[in-house]
Amino acid sequence: MTATQNGVNGSSELTLTLDGEVVPFTLGETIYEVARRHEKFIPTLCYDPRLEPFGACRLCVVEVRGQRNPVASCTMPAVLGMEVSTSSERLEQYRKTLLEMVASENPSIEVSPLRGYSSQELGVLVEQYGANTGRFAGAHSGHSRLDDTNPFILRDYDLCISCYRCVRVCAEQEGDYAISVMNRGFHTQITVEFNGLLKESACTFCGQCVQTCPTGALADKKALRNCEL
């Protein structure tokens, strides 16, 4: 496929094939951004449009002609002439299996929507894909810091899926760098410096981490208290 001509100004237009349809894209866009702009559904748990692409959850994988394995659409740049499939039996099974792995690690999928703006994302996807939450039951990473007595943010890390959205929003949007990651694998833990309390860290309690968390692992204590009144 070659670049087509833009009928308005005669300049070259970049195009790719998305699920059989030739669509335009802008240099620098990722496959995910192009697909989202053209109203194609691609699931994701680590994506936040305010943040740099990260590719941690792998739910956003798509098939690209010529590529042996599916690729993460949130980090893969769109290329002229690329042929992309956003949905297939293979992809849907892959996504369902990933969701089952994530869901099996979490003691609770259903959480109060008052925990945060994005707190229902995992639950919605698990229901949509009919994921079996007990298929991969076993060890899990992240342990809650219920001993953190700050009055604003609940740190229920037993629900954490290590998407790192909280870490990245704190650094990229707020510039506070109050949240970090400790250890690896099943020992991964979201933490603050010296594994301490939020009130002893650089946290300003802006709440951005709460609003981006897709599982409710971080929650608005005030909203939950008001609900209980």
pLDDT in tens, 51-68: 999 999 999 999 999 999
- pLDDT exceeds 70 at position 4: no
Token pair recorded at residue 57: 């959850």
Cα radius of gyration (the chain): 20
Average pLDDT of the segment spanning 145-172: 94
Give the pLDDT of residue 228: 58
Give the pLDDT of residue 223: 92
Average pLDDT of the segment spanning 126-139: 86
Output the pTM of the full model.
0.88
Return d(Cα 217, Cα 210) in angstroms, integer: 8
Region(s) of the chain under CATH 3.10.20.740: 4-87
Topology given in CATH for the domain delimited by 4-87: Ubiquitin-like (UB roll) (3.10.20)
Phi-psi sector, 28: left (phi>0), alpha (psi -120 to 50), beta: left
Count how many Cα atoms sit within 13 Å of the Cα of residue 48 in the half-sphere of its side chain.
23
Count how many Cα atoms sit within 13 Å of the Cα of residue 125 in the half-sphere of its side chain.
25
pLDDT band of 94, cuts 50, 70, 90: very high
Region(s) of the chain under CATH 3.30.70.20: 106-228
Average pLDDT of the segment spanning 129-145: 83
- 106-228: CATH class: alpha beta
Return d(Cα 112, Cα 127) in angstroms, integer: 16
